Structure 1
Amino acid sequence: MSQRVLITAGASGVGRAMAEAFAARGARVWVADVDGAALDTCPDGWGRSLVDVADEAAMAAMFDEIRRGWGGLDVLCANAGIAGPTAPVEGVTLDDWRACIAVNLDGAFLAAKYAAPMMKSQGAGAMILTSSTAGQYGYPNRSPYAAAKWGVIGLTKTLAMELGAYGVRANAICPGAVEGLRMEGVLQREAAAKGMTRDQVYAGYAAGTSMGRFIEARDVAEMAVFLASDAARLVSGQVIAVDGHTVNPDPRP
């Protein structure tokens, strides 16, 4: 039987790359996203839900729909996230802090909360949570994002401990700087805050990796496919960076 895969923030960016990678291997794919226009571009064969991952009622309703439609869930990719503000800690408002935590951490928690009963009843499943290298090292001027992504790692390790006895695995992927629109926004904001050009900030991030470059969404997607596969059947509670090997997490030149 083909895998049943739910991907939050699955209509664009890294999530879309995950959805396409799973679909290419014959999986049944369901994408959740807050962007209706992006959802409209998804293939007809995919399940789709317009949902805010921080809205518990909406998440519960989506999982009920998945249960009715599929009867269960084999793979959860809790991928939804926002960049949050780019500012020193004293310049971050509490509202901006809470908004970043809500999507990045609350959203992962709610996805795991509602996926767990289905996977436990099956005696199998794989949860893949998207953290970040910011959740391993911290980043200057990104305190809400880094705090949320550290939280995702703690959640992942706890899920692995809670669910392992039921045959359910949980792992976190930590992408580095990913080429795309979201990282482009970070680059532009940091450039403005530091009085630098966008290219100077980009070079600082790239120079912080041993491979000297950003990664692409497909690199993260391929890791997700591996972690959901039988080849990773005893891989759980792990935090795996896909980042070109970060050697200096501080992107300042």
Structure 2
Amino acid sequence: MDLAIEGLRVLVTAGANGIGRGIVEAFLAEGARVFTCDVDEVGLSTLPAGVGHRMADVADRVQVASLVEDAVAYLGGLDVLVNNAGIAGPTGRVEEIAPEDWDRCIEVCLTSQFNCARLAVPHLRASTNPSIINLSSAAGQFGFALRSPYSAAKWGVIGFTKSLAIELGDAGIRVNAILPGLVAGDRQRRVLEAKAQQRGMPFAEVEKAAFSYVSIKDYVTPQQLADQILFLCSPRGRTISGQAIAVDGDTRMLA
């Protein structure tokens, strides 16, 4: 299927590794022009040729201002913002969570999306095919024991997405949220390992328990997430906005 996104100008946050890298490489493969950022300098140095990039912590508004300025200059404008940056946050009971760990999780997983969107929207208004993709999570639909900061942030992403979709609809800017579930990769493994340690259980048992809540007993891949995002950002996705789209094997609840 020709998605007709060749030349699309795309900014992806946290694109050096994992889901973000998968998104960057998928857009690049379809002929889009891509700029990304990350806090991982080594990861940025291994990006494919042609991907513009810079170091940036998107929880820092000064750094975000420079990021958007550099991205627009490199790309010659902006058609798509993918708010991918996020962290797992602490694992533990609410009384065990340090306030600074709560704050950092909310800042990176939720507030960073505001930081980027507020500066990107004026440029998106000039685009003929503008869209914003916000990464939420299956944890944005269900309570998530021992992961309350992460779950709270990801619920907030959905509210932010739906509000922006209404607010920006008259400018033709689509805004959607993607809700990954169990995503293959090091980050998911670290999350499950932290939960196994917290509960004093073997990793294999925790992983099996996680799959018990998913109808398709398997991980989602970054490529599968990227495929959905590319469709939403293509002209074929023009009528889709304000949606929280699960790409998670039908997660029913989280342990």
Would you say 1:63 and 2:77 are equivalent positions? no
Would you say 1:110 and 2:118 are equivalent positions? no
Work out whether residues 35 and 75 of structure 2, in 8 Å CA contact, stay in contact via their aligned partners in 1: no
Would you say 1:152 and 2:157 are equivalent positions? yes
Residue in 2 that maps onto 1:166: 171
1:44 to partner: Cα distance: 2.3
Q: Choose the corresponding residue for 1:250, options 246, 249, 254.
A: 254
Work out whether residues 74 and 124 of structure 1, in 8 Å CA contact, stay in contact via their aligned partners in 2: yes
Q: Choose the corresponding residue for 2:77, options 67, 72, 75.
A: 72
In the alignment of these two chains, the number of paired residues is 250
In the TM superposition, 1:1-253 aligns within 5 A as 2-122=7-127, 124-247=129-252, 249-251=253-255
**Distance in 2 of aligned mates of 1:5 and 1:121:** 14
| CA RMSD of superposed structures (Å) | 1.1
Work out whether residues 124 and 166 of structure 1, in 8 Å CA contact, stay in contact via their aligned partners in 2: no
Q: What secondary structure, in the 3-state scheme, does the structure 1 residue paired with 2:48 have?
A: coil
Work out whether residues 129 and 235 of structure 2, in 8 Å CA contact, stay in contact via their aligned partners in 1: no
**Distance in 2 of aligned mates of 1:109 and 1:55:** 11
Work out whether residues 132 and 175 of structure 2, in 8 Å CA contact, stay in contact via their aligned partners in 1: yes
Q: Which moved more, 1:205-214 or 1:12-21?
A: 205-214
1:229 to partner: Cα distance: 0.8
1:69 to partner: Cα distance: 2.6
- Partner letter of residue 200 of structure 1? E
1:64 to partner: Cα distance: 1.2
1:67 to partner: Cα distance: 2.4
| CA deviation vs aligned residue, 1:114-138 (integer Å, no higher than 9, x gap) | 1101011335411000000000112
**Distance in 2 of aligned mates of 1:131 and 1:97:** 17
- TM-score relative to the length of structure 2: 0.95
1:216 to partner: Cα distance: 1.2
**Distance in 2 of aligned mates of 1:136 and 1:113:** 25
**Distance in 2 of aligned mates of 1:22 and 1:123:** 18
- Identify unmatched segments of 5+ residues in structure 1: none
**Distance in 2 of aligned mates of 1:246 and 1:58:** 35
Work out whether residues 8 and 15 of structure 1, in 8 Å CA contact, stay in contact via their aligned partners in 2: yes
- TM-score relative to the length of structure 1: 0.96
**Distance in 2 of aligned mates of 1:69 and 1:11:** 18
Seq. identity, %: 46
**Distance in 2 of aligned mates of 1:241 and 1:87:** 25
| CA deviation vs aligned residue, 1:18-44 (integer Å, no higher than 9, x gap) | 011111100001111110000000022
Q: What secondary structure, in the 3-state scheme, does the structure 1 residue paired with 2:10 have?
A: strand
1:70 to partner: Cα distance: 2.5
Work out whether residues 52 and 74 of structure 2, in 8 Å CA contact, stay in contact via their aligned partners in 1: no
- Identify unmatched segments of 5+ residues in structure 2: 1-5
Work out whether residues 123 and 168 of structure 1, in 8 Å CA contact, stay in contact via their aligned partners in 2: no
1:87 to partner: Cα distance: 0.4
**Distance in 2 of aligned mates of 1:58 and 1:119:** 20
**Distance in 1 of aligned mates of 2:18 and 2:127:** 30
